Amino acid sequence: MSDRTCDVVVVGAGPTGLSAARTLQAAGKDVVVLEARDRVGGRTWTDHIEGQMYEIGGQWISPDQSALLDLVEELGKETYQRHREGDSVYIAPDGTRTVYNGDMFPVGESTQAEMERLIAQLDELAARIGATAPWEAEDAVELDSVSFHHWLRNQSDDELACANIGMFIAGGMLTKPATAFSALQAILMAASAGSFSHLVDDHFILDRRVVGGMQSVSEQMAAELGEGVVHLNSPVRTIGWTEDSVTVGSDAMTVSAASVIVAVPPNLYSHISYTPHLPRLQQIFHQHQSMGLVIKVHATYPTPFWREDGLCGTGFGAGQLVQEVYDNTNHGEERGTLVGFISDVNADAMFALDEDTRKQRILESLADFLGAQALEPEVFYLSDFGAEEWTRGAYATSYDLGGLHRWGRFQNDPVGPIHFASSDIAAHGYQHVDGAIRIGQDTANKILST
């Protein structure tokens, strides 16, 4: 017995699910969205901690992310640029701190040349292989059989150049050690952002933010869907299906429809029970897409003190606990906020510590970049999506070594009336909100065209 029937059920009210529902509804379809959490937005989440607004999840938009930029404009929202005036800080593996300006880390001349050569090589690979079907490249098997770590070291014997380049994709994007994913996966990441050069250019990749927070994009999409469309606190546990119908069971209600879009990250597909069970192919490859792990660090101070020292707040250090730090001061605020990122094994190490020691270690790392004032924030908070049942990691999922060329070509295929969509299997905008919007719209259009 269903509580409701409709044309299409959407599982998950993140940016993917909501943009799919929006597209379907605009085409006249009756849609129900079932969301496990008590809020919409998924991995985008804007909240107040001790009165301070933080972007706990996704926040930045780059200039090429036109699907998201168009949606933001359509919703009548404003964006603003990240503060970027001033010098950056680089900390070398031996702990030497250098203040610099420009795009290139202040490393020795030969390391700089080596980094430039690797960037050019990755740009060329990204341009040739692209983000849409990297598995079709003639050297896909070869590139997918070697870890990004080892691929880099096969290209160059300059360890510092390899570590610095590796950081942009490993700690910086996929949030797994560079030994855990392939060179092909790294090239997909670069191609999905337009080029590898875009990933190393923080002015590009971390360009703009949404006034009022990124979650408000999802909140407004949900509100515009109207009463009774989005159901919160409704974790989907079961999907029964035939060739042309589905019955979707959540804790709150059961919905029957012609099709369903499972708009959750791939690591959560198998937490839903399918009757009949999914084909062998899906049962196998869904196990090979796993979440990375990153702690997003937020620290707020009475003023953005680093600006008085001529610093923009940006810092990089491939060997540091906090590998990247940026000025994340909110639009129109006097207080200054820093955001930093601690990835994979460093995140494991932090979670093994008690809360006070963890905080102290992290603040010391921020202070190494920006000075002792960083030790005394008024508000301090760590985003911990690894502890969230309905995400289980951050930022997104990627294949383990060899998985992308073996299974990537199947990841967007529906199984009967069951469609899968999330930023994690998007091409352009892969792992980003822009990719979520694109794949949500594309999946809805696929359903509309059948």
Q: Give the x-and-dash track for 357-396 against ligand FAD (CB under 6 A).
A: --------------------------x-x----xx--xxx
Taking the least distance from each CB to ligand FAD, the nearer of 162 and 347 is: 347
Q: How far is the CB of 251 from ligand FAD (least distance, A)?
A: 9
> Counting contacts by CB under 6 A, is residue 272 touching ligand FAD?
yes
**Helix ranges (DSSP H) in 317-432:** 344-351, 355-370, 403-407
When binding is defined by CB under 6 A, the residue of 254, 422, 441, 443 that contacts ligand FAD is 422
Q: Which stretch binds ligand FAD (CB under 6 A): 94-102, 265-273, 310-318, 350-358?
A: 265-273
Spatial separation of the C-alpha atoms in residues 371 and 369, rounded to whole Å:
6
Contact present, 143 and 184 (Cβ < 8 Å): yes
Spatial separation of the C-alpha atoms in residues 428 and 414, rounded to whole Å:
20
Site for ligand FAD in 44-73 (CB under 6 A): 44, 57-60
Q: Give the x-and-dash track for 292-311 against ligand FAD (CB under 6 A).
A: ----x---------------
Q: How far is the CB of 216 from ligand FAD (least distance, A)?
A: 13
When binding is defined by CB under 6 A, the residue of 86, 177, 265, 304 that contacts ligand FAD is 265
Taking the least distance from each CB to ligand FAD, the nearer of 264 and 444 is: 264
The amino acid that residue 16 corresponds to is: T
Site for ligand FAD in 18-47 (CB under 6 A): 34-37, 42-44
Nearest CA among 123, 54, 116, 100 for reference residue 317: 100
Q: How far is the CB of 303 from ligand FAD (least distance, A)?
A: 24
Contact present, 313 and 288 (Cβ < 8 Å): no
> Counting contacts by CB under 6 A, is residue 290 touching ligand FAD?
no
The amino acid that residue 157 corresponds to is: D
Q: Which residue is nearest to ligand FAD (CB)?
A: 14
Tokens linked to 190:
């670069």
Taking the least distance from each CB to ligand FAD, the nearer of 198 and 432 is: 432
> Counting contacts by CB under 6 A, is residue 397 touching ligand FAD?
no
* 372 Ramachandran zone, left/alpha/beta (phi>0; psi -120 to 50): alpha
Taking the least distance from each CB to ligand FAD, the nearer of 151 and 274 is: 274
**Position of tokens 């919905």?**
255
Number of residues that bind ligand FAD (CB under 6 A): 40
β-sheet bridge partners, residue 88: 100
Q: How far is the CB of 47 from ligand FAD (least distance, A)?
A: 12
* Complete DSSP assignment for 12-64: --SHHHHHHHHHHHHTT--EEEE-SSSSS-TT--EEEETTEEEE-S---B-TT
Strand-pair category, 379-383 with 254-257: unpaired
Report CA torsion sign: 72, 73, 74, 75.
Answer: positive
β-sheet bridge partners, residue 291: 397
> Counting contacts by CB under 6 A, is residue 14 touching ligand FAD?
yes
Helix axes 109-129, 183-192, angle to 10 degrees: 80
Helix (H, G, I), strand (E, B) or coil at 71: helix
Q: Which stretch binds ligand FAD (CB under 6 A): 112-120, 155-163, 281-289, 427-435?
A: 427-435
> Counting contacts by CB under 6 A, is residue 436 touching ligand FAD?
yes
Tokens linked to 33:
């969205």
Residues contributing to the site for ligand FAD (CB under 6 A): 11-17, 34-37, 42-44, 57-60, 235-236, 263-265, 268, 272, 296, 383, 385, 390-391, 394-396, 422-423, 431-434, 436
